[in-house]
Amino acid sequence: MTIARNKNKKIRKWIIIAGFALIIFTLSNVFVYNKIVNLQHLITIQTKDLEGLKLADADLKNKLYQILDLKNLSELAKDLGMIKIKNPEFLEINESVSFYNTNN
């Protein structure tokens, strides 16, 4: 009878260990599943935000291109009282420029 009791104790011990392992495995799977679902929700939100930022960027680029359009710049120059000079004369210096230190 002692042999049967020892076998039963060993079997119970392994069943309890297997039960704890199964519980730990199940809880860890639930934890990982929760993290995955939270990350999927976060990715969805971030993707929507990114799409909104792309649209805003496209609008800003469009406005910038409209401002920098030659037709609009000509109108802006007229509004500011600027005139177009066909043959501009620039200031010229015929001397060479040197950065030599003469204080030594």
* pLDDT single digits (tens) 48-82: 999 999 999 999 999 998 888 888 888 888 888 88
Total structural domains within the chain? 1
CB 50 within 8 A of CB 58: no
| Contact status, residue 72 vs residue 66, Cβ threshold 8 Å | yes
89 located within any domain: no
Q: With respect to residue 95, please indicate whether it lies within any of the assigned structural domains.
A: no
Domain assignment present for residue 32? The answer is: yes
Query: CA–CA separation, 68 vs 28, rounded Å?
Result: 58
The answer to whether residue 50 is domain-embedded is: yes
- Give the domain extent around 66: 2-79
Q: Is residue 88 part of a domain?
A: no
Q: Is residue 104 part of a domain?
A: no
Structure confidence by residue, pLDDT tens digits, 11-46: 999 999 999 999 999 999 999 999 999 999 999 999
Radius of gyration from C-alpha coordinates of the chain: 40
Give the Å distances, CA to CA, from 23 to 10, 12, 13, 28.
20, 16, 15, 9
Q: What's the pLDDT at 37? A: 98
Q: Would residue 43 count as lying in a domain?
A: yes
Question: Model pTM?
Answer: 0.52
- Mean pLDDT rounded to a whole number for the chain: 86
Q: In the block, which residue shows the tokens 């990350």?
A: 39
CA atoms within 13 A on the CB side of 28: 6
The single-letter DSSP state of residue 21 is H
Domain membership of residue 54 (yes or no) is yes
